A and B are shown apart, each in its own frame.
Chain A
Amino acid sequence: MSGHVAPVRRPLIEGSKTYHQITEDICRPTETAPSVSWIIAFIVSVICLGMFVFGVAWTVWVGIGSWNLNRTINWGWDITNFVWWVGIGHAGTLISAILLLFRQKWRTGVNRAAEAMTIFAVICAGQFPLIHMGRLWLAIFIFPYPNTRGPLWVNFNSPLLWDVFAISTYFTVSLLFWYAGLVPDLATVRDRAKGIRKKIYSAVSFGWNGSAKHWQRWESLSLILAGLATPLVLSVHTIVSFDFATSVIPGWHTTIFPPYFVAGAIFSGFAMVLTLMLIARKVLHLEQYITMEHIESMNKVILLTGSIVGVAYLTELFIAWYSGYIYEQFAFLNRVLGPYYWSYIGMMLCNVISPQIFWSKKLRTSLFWTFFMSIFINIGMWFERFVIIATTLARDYLPSSWSYYVPTWVEIIIFIGTLGLFFTLFLIFTRVAPVVAIAEVKSILKTSGDQYIGPNAHHGHHVPAGANDLSAGSTVDIDDDNTTK
Chain B
Amino acid sequence: MDFALSLDQKGLGKDIQEFSRRFLAPIAAECDEKQEFIPTEIWNQMACLGYCGLPIPLEYGGAGLGALDTLICLEAAGKGGAAAGHLLSWAVSTVLGSIPIIKFGTPEQKELYLPRIANGELICAFCLTEPDAGSDAGSIRTRAERSGDYYVLNGTKAFITNGPIADLCLIFAVTDPDRGSEGISAFLVESSFPGFSRGKQLDKMGIRCSPTGDLILRDCLVPAANRLGPEGQGFKTVAHHTLEWERANFSFFLGVMEYNLQTCIKYARERIQFKRPIARFQAIRHMLAEMRVELDAARLMFYRIGWMIDQGLVPAPVQASSAKYFLTRALKKNADYAVQIHGANGMMKEYPVERTLRDYKIAEIGGGTTQIQLDIIAGNIIKS
State whether these chains interact: no
Residues of B within 8 A of A (CB): none
Residues of A within 8 A of B (CB): none
